Amino acid sequence: MKIGFIGLGTMGSSIAMNAMKGGHELVVYDINEEAAKPHIDAGAYWADSPQAVAEQTDVVFTSLPGPPEVEAVALGGGGLIEGLRTGQAYFDLSTNSPTLMRRIHQVFLERGVQALDAPVSGGPDGARTDGPADSAGHRCRTADRRRRRRARVKRNRVRLRRGRRDRLRRFWTAVRSHRRTRDHGTAVVHTARTTRGEPRRRPSASC
């Protein structure tokens, strides 16, 4: 897989280097070209802009100081939005604004690109030792659990509706059966009395 990495600061530099150690081709960009020198020496390719990074890779990571930098790289002129293609994915490892990330996600989704907010923790030491923790996987698992829970609740509601409907059907069937039995019994008694010659009662005359 060809990986693009933008932002080679304290955290990003080590994470990008670990990606190369994992056997991936790397295309890098940073506002300070000197920051990319160790990666280029190790075999990475340099790109002149975030757009160029997106055009040459399958997936892009950014590790930037904050929301303004993320917005400029993702949505600005010469940014990722101008280079990403349908089917690609973008992961932002920065400490970012959820509001901004939702907007980026929506804009990218319209172009068939998945954008994920994946802030990392563990500090520079964790990044160097290939041990930073990111929350993207946890969020995906949480979303899966929520989807499964909603599906389970929906199934239970359907079962309850079906059970309630069945109970009502059985109830009204029993009521109708009782009415038929009662009416039939009344008719039998009336027929028996007539057969025995019992006179029918005349209705009383009204005054």
DSSP assignments along 5-21, one per residue: EE--SHHHHHHHHHHHH
Higher pLDDT, 137 or 115: 115
User: Which position has the higher pLDDT, 45 or 206?
Assistant: 45
Q: Is the pLDDT confidence value at 37 over 90? A: yes
Q: For 162-191, what is the mean pLDDT?
A: 68
Would you say residue 10 has pLDDT above 70?
yes
- Mean pLDDT, the chain, rounded, equals 80
- 19 φ, ψ (degrees, to nearest 5): -65, -40
The model carries a pTM of 0.62
pLDDT for 72-105, tens place per residue? 999 999 999 999 999 999 999 998 898 999 999 9
Q: Which residue has the higher pLDDT, 70 or 153?
A: 70
Residue 25: which pLDDT band, with cuts at 50, 70 and 90?
very high
What local confidence, expressed as pLDDT, does residue 135 receive? 47
Give per-residue pLDDT as tens, 117-167: 988 865 555 445 554 545 454 444 455 566 676 777 677 666 666 667 777
Answer left, alpha or beta for residue 115, where phi above 0 means left and psi between -120 and 50 means alpha: beta
pLDDT of res. 133: 45
Helical H runs in the chain? Answer: 10-21, 37-41, 50-56, 67-75, 98-109, 123-128, 136-195
Contacts 24+ apart (CB under 8 A), 103-111: 104/70, 104/71, 104/74, 104/75, 107/75, 107/81, 108/74, 108/81, 108/84, 111/81, 111/84, 111/86
Percentage of the chain lying above the pLDDT 70 cut: 67
Lowest mean pLDDT among 22-26, 48-52, 105-109, 149-153: 149-153
Lowest mean pLDDT among 8-12, 17-21, 146-150, 162-166: 146-150
pLDDT: which is higher, 55 or 1: 55
Q: What is the CA radius of gyration of the chain?
A: 37
Write down the architecture of domain 2-134 according to CATH.
Answer: 3-Layer(aba) Sandwich (3.40)
